[in-house]
C-alpha cells in the first residue's frame, strides 16, 4: 500500500532507477532536524527507580543539554518523577552530584506529590533541593500543552 | 559546557555566592507548572497487558483527573491500547469498575483494530463499552497534532 | 471528585437514567479521532535493542503508515534510535528488508551519534543507508517543537 509520503523522494528514486537510490540519498543528505525556534522546552519522565533507569535517564538529559543544535537558544528542561521513579531523588542514591549539576544548568527537578502518598515516601527522604508538584501527570499535560516535548526513556534491560 | 539555560537563575546563584543557592531557591519557589489554557487534552498509551502495567496506567489516568490545577478547565482524556495492551479491556480482567468510572468521568476508552487482527483477539472478548479505532498509532498521531499531550507510563518492574 | 469533562455526555447519561448509558453511547459513536490537518509528523523512539522491541516498533511504524485516516495527507515519519536501540540498525540483524521498505516509503532512519561513542559502536557496523544525527534527545525535542507527535512503544515482556 502506497501513501503520499515524500512523493519527491519516491520520484527521485524512480528517476534514479531504484528505491535504494532514495535511501542512499537520504542517508547522505540528512544529518538531523534543524532548529528554527528561539525557545525549546523538554519534560523528561521517569517512573522506574532502579539504578540502570536512573543512569540512562540522566545521561539522556545531559545529552540533550549538550546537543550543539541548541547553542544560542533558550532550552528549558524538567525531569518529572512519579511511581517508582521517585528513586531518582532519594537521599544517598549516589546521584546527588549529577542532579545538582543538572539543576545548576537550569533543569527543574520535580517530584509528583501523589506518589509520595501512594508509595509512603517521606519528603525528608528525598534531596531537599527538589520540588514537589501536585501530580506528575498534570505536570506533563501542562508542559506539553505549552509546546514542550515529552521524552520517556524506557527502563533498560539491565534492570533485570 | 555551559548553555544559556535560565541565565537569570545562574545569575542569582552567582549573586548568592553558590550554585546551591540557585537549587534551593528553585526548590523553594517552584511548585509545578501553572495552567494557562482553558482546554487540555491527554492521550495515554498502554501497550503491555500485565496486571501491574494496567494498575499503574489507570492510577496515572485517575491522578491526572484529580489534579486540582485542571479545576474549572476542560480536560479531555483518552486511553489507547495496542499490542499486548489490549489486556486492559479484556472481559473479566478485574478492571471493569475502574474503567466504567473513568468512562463516566469522560475518558475515551479506545482499542487499536490492527491489534485485534494481529493478536487474534475477538472484539467480543473485550468489554462492550470500549471503542475500536483504525490504528493506535494513527490515534496518537492525530491527538498530538491537535495539541494533546502524550503520556506513556512504563511497564513496572513488578510485572516480572 | 467531579471534573467538567464532557458535561454533555454526563448530562446525556443523567437523562438516560444511568452512567452506563453514557458509556454505551460513547462506544457506539466514537470510532477514532478524525484528522483535520493536511500534514502530520511522527517521531518514533527506540531505545532497547532486543529483537522483540525492534519487531514491535517496526510494526507500529508500519501500522501508522497504513492507517487509512492519513490517505491523501502528507505524513512524515522518523525513527530515532539511541541507547541500546542502535540494535535496530546493526548490519545482519534480520531487519534490513523492513527498514529499506520503510525508507522507501519515506521514513527517516536516524541514529544518535552520542550513542555510537558511549556504546562503542562503529558506524560501519550499522546499515549504510541510515542517517547519523547529533543527539537522539535533541532530534526528538526539535521534532516535537515542530508539531510532530512522539510515540515510544515499550519493550515487550517477551524480551525477557
User: Does residue C6 surpass a pLDDT of 50?
Assistant: no
Q: Which residues in C lie closer than 8 A to residue B159 (C-beta atoms)? A: 157
Across the interface, of B75, B106, B145, the residue whose CB is closest to C37 is: B145
Residue positions counted in chain C: 160
Q: Is the model more confident about C128 or about A29?
A: C128
Q: Which residues in B lie closer than 8 A to residue C63 (C-beta atoms)? A: 82, 112, 114, 135-138
Q: How confident is the model at residue C22 (pLDDT cuts 50, 70, 90)?
A: very low
Q: Is the model more confident about C129 or about A160?
A: C129
Q: Is the model more confident about B13 or about B131?
A: B131
Q: How confident is the model at residue C29 (pLDDT cuts 50, 70, 90)?
A: confident
DSSP string, A26-40: HHHH---PPP--SEE
How would you class A128 by CB atoms within 10 Å of its CB: exposed for 0-12, middle for 13-18, buried for 19 or more?
Answer: exposed
Calculate how close chain B gets to C160, using CA atoms only, in Å: 9
- The CA-atom distances, in angstroms, between C83 and each of A59, A152, B119, C72, C80 are 10, 13, 29, 35, 10
Instruction: Kindly provide the ipTM of the predicted complex, given to two decimals.
Output: 0.84
User: Does residue A31 surpass a pLDDT of 80?
Assistant: yes
Q: Are B32 and A43 in contact (CB under 8 A)?
A: no
pLDDT digits (tens, 9 = 90+) for B88-141: 999 999 999 999 999 999 999 999 999 999 999 999 999 999 999 999 999 999
Bridge partners of B149?
A: B42
pLDDT at A68: 98
pLDDT at B40: 98
Q: How confident is the model at residue B14 (pLDDT cuts 50, 70, 90)?
A: very low
What's the whole-number average pLDDT of chain A? 87
Best probe of the B interface among C3, C11, C144, C148, by most B CBs < 10 A, is: C3
How would you class C117 by CB atoms within 10 Å of its CB: exposed for 0-12, middle for 13-18, buried for 19 or more?
Answer: exposed
pLDDT at B29: 83
Inter-chain residue contact C141 with A36, CB threshold 8 Å: no
Q: How confident is the model at residue A35 (pLDDT cuts 50, 70, 90)?
A: very high
Across the interface, of A5, A152, A156, the residue whose CB is closest to C106 is: A5
Q: How confident is the model at residue B60 (pLDDT cuts 50, 70, 90)?
A: very high
pTM of the model as a whole: 0.85
DSSP string, B104-143: HTT-EEEEEHHHHHHTT--GGGB-TTSEEES-HHHHHHHH
Report the percent of chain B where pLDDT is more than 70.
Answer: 81
- C116 phi and psi, to 5 degrees? -60, -40
Average pLDDT over residues C144-152: 98
Across the interface, of A65, A109, A110, the residue whose CB is closest to B3 is: A65
Inter-chain residue contact B30 with A110, CB threshold 8 Å: yes
Q: Which residues in B lie closer than 8 A to residue C150 (C-beta atoms)? A: 144, 150
pLDDT digits (tens, 9 = 90+) for A55-110: 999 999 999 999 999 999 999 999 999 999 999 999 999 999 999 999 999 999 99
User: Does residue A54 surpass a pLDDT of 80?
Assistant: yes
Q: Are A33 and A149 in contact (CB under 8 A)?
A: no
Amino acid at each position: 500500500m502506497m501513501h503520499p509520503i515524500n512523493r519527491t523522494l519516491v520520484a527521485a528514486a524512480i528517476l534514479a532507477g531504484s528505491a535504494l537510490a532514495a535511501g542512499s540519498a537520504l542517508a547522505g543528505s540528512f544529518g538531523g532536524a534543524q532548529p528554527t525556534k528561539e525557545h525549546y522546552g523538554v519534560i523528561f519522565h521517569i517512573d522506574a527507580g532502579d539504578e540502570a533507569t536512573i543512569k540512562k535517564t540522566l545521561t539522556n538529559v545531559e545529552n540533550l543539554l549538550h546537543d550543539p543544535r541548541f547553542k544560542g537558544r533558550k532550552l528549558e528542561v524538567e525531569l518529572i518523577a512519579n511511581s517508582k521513579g521517585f528513586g531518582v531523588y532519594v537521599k544517598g542514591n549516589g546521584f546527588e552530584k549529577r542532579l545538582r549539576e543538572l539543576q545548576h544548568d537550569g533543569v527543574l527537578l520535580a517530584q509528583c506529590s501523589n506518589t509520595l502518598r501512594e508509595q509512603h515516601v517521606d519528603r525528608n527522604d528525598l534531596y531537599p533541593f527538589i520540588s514537589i508538584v501536585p501530580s506528575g501527570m498534570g505536570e506533563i499535560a501542562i508542559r506539553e500543552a505549552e509546546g514542550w516535548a515529552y521524552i520517556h526513556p524506557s527502563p533498560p534491560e539491565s534492570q533485570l
